[in-house]
Amino acid sequence: MRKTCLALAAVALLAGCATPPPAPGSAASKVVTMGQLDDIEIGQMRVARENGYLTVNVALTNSSRSNQTLFYRFAWLGSDGFPVADEESWKALPLYGKQAKFLPAIAPTPAARDFRLEVHTR
Amino acid sequence: MFARLSLAALAIALVSGCSTPSPVLGGKNISYGDSKAVELVTNEFGSTDLQMIAESMTRSLAQSGVLHGRPVVQVYDVKNKTSEYIDTREITTSIKTQLMKSGAARFASDNTDMQSQVDQLKLQNQSGLYKKKTVAKTGNMIAAKYRLEGSISSIVKRSSDYKDVFYKFSLQLIDVESGLAEWMDEKEIRKTTER
């Protein structure tokens, strides 16, 4: 009985700790966080097609009082999920303390159907 | 004695047989880095600035819808109005390459390529060295519908504590026939060094 209780407690603890994977197609599923991303929250994403090119606008918020620099780049994917363009260069985006900002991006080719946002802070 | 020598020989043979040959030759302090990394070595114009400018300008132009039907564009060198030496040809080459890859435009021979183009046409048509049916005919070059030209300028401020550099890159697409600027964009970059 004691063993069963312990096993149940362990299962409950594990289930509580495990982060559920983001739903496919959700904003969270598009973000690849490299290392720690403390204090910067990635919010809603607006995806549209303008003049044949995929355009993205990402809402960012610096939740801390201090200034932060976000390093980011987009990877543009085709309908098969593979990249349709060369790797982008990493870019730095400064965010003041408590600032909310939008990060716009345009795909390099009309062949882009989807994207990934790689983010990093140091 | 013989047994020891045999053992040593066996050990050497085993070691050389097991070790995987490395494709790296020398260079303890040398390594390849990420060419796309954010470069913050100094606050002079750097690789990240070049990549950011080319990327931002190309995408803005391609997505604007002005380049409808893959028009022919002639690219002029970017004017360097900064106090630094900047190889502005590399900026135009990157913009040209990225527009070409996106399939948004075609490019006429620019002022640097033109001499080679004319020389090759003259050689084919005037030297009598080539088979007639393989010779490129003169008078068939495609004229540009648009010209693309830009400039980069900078404002540098120094104090005992700071060095601040502000770059402004402007690019415009002009209709050759009408002389009208059909598209224009600019990219601003600020780099500050705290001493």
CA distance linking residue B138 with residue B168, whole number of Å: 41
In this complex, the residue of B36, B60, B103 whose CB is nearest that of residue A106 is B60
If one compares B22 and B180, the residue with the highest pLDDT of the two is: B180
In this complex, the residue of A51, A89, A106 whose CB is nearest that of residue B65 is A51
Closest CA to B94 of B63, B61, B55, B150: B55
Report helix, strand or coil for A3: helix
If one compares A14 and B158, the residue with the highest pLDDT of the two is: B158
Any chain A CB within 8 A of the CB of B94? no
CA B108 to chain centre: 17
**Spatial contact of B111 and B76, defined as CB atoms under 8 Å apart:** yes
Paired tokens of A90: 């990493």
CA distance linking residue B12 with residue B62, whole number of Å: 62
CA B93 to chain centre: 5
Query: What is the interface size between A and B, counted as CB pairs within 8 Å?
Result: 50
**B73 pairs with which residues across the strands?**
B107, B146
Tens digit of each residue's pLDDT (9 = 90 or more) over A16-42: 555 666 776 677 889 999 888 889 999
Tell if the CB–CB gap between B98 and A108 is shorter than 8 Å. yes
Tens digit of each residue's pLDDT (9 = 90 or more) over B8-45: 666 665 555 566 788 888 878 888 999 999 999 998 99
Mean pLDDT calculated for residue range B93-105: 92
Fold classification of A42-120 (topology level) = Immunoglobulin-like (2.60.40)
Q: Which residue segments constitute the domains of chain B, with CATH numbers given?
A: 47-126+141-194 (3.40.50)
In this complex, the residue of B34, B55, B62 whose CB is nearest that of residue A53 is B62
Closest CA to A93 of A75, A115, A67, A114: A67
* A53 to chain B, closest Cα gap in Å: 6
Q: Element (H or E) spanning B150, and its range? A: strand B146-158
Interface pTM, i.e. ipTM = 0.80
Any chain A CB within 8 A of the CB of B74? no
Closest CA to B91 of B189, B190, B180, B193: B189
Task: Name every residue whose Cβ is closer than 8 Å to that of residue A77 and which is 6 or more positions away in sequence.
Answer: A83, A84, A112, A113, A114, A115, A116
Residues from chain B that touch A71, judged by Cβ atoms under 8 A, are 38
Residues from chain A that touch B62, judged by Cβ atoms under 8 A, are 53, 106, 108
- pLDDT value of residue A37: 83
- pLDDT value of residue B186: 97
Tell if the CB–CB gap between B62 and A108 is shorter than 8 Å. yes
Tell if the CB–CB gap between B102 and A110 is shorter than 8 Å. yes
**Spatial contact of B67 and B61, defined as CB atoms under 8 Å apart:** yes
Report helix, strand or coil for B49: helix
Locate the domains of chain A by residue range: 42-120
- For chain B, the helix, strand and coil percentages under 3-state DSSP, each to the nearest 5: 35, 25, 40
Tell if the CB–CB gap between A87 and B48 is shorter than 8 Å. no
Helices (H), chain A: 2-17
| pLDDT averaged per 10 residues in sequence order, chain A, 122 residues | 57 55 76 88 94 95 94 96 94 95 95 95 74
- pLDDT value of residue A28: 81
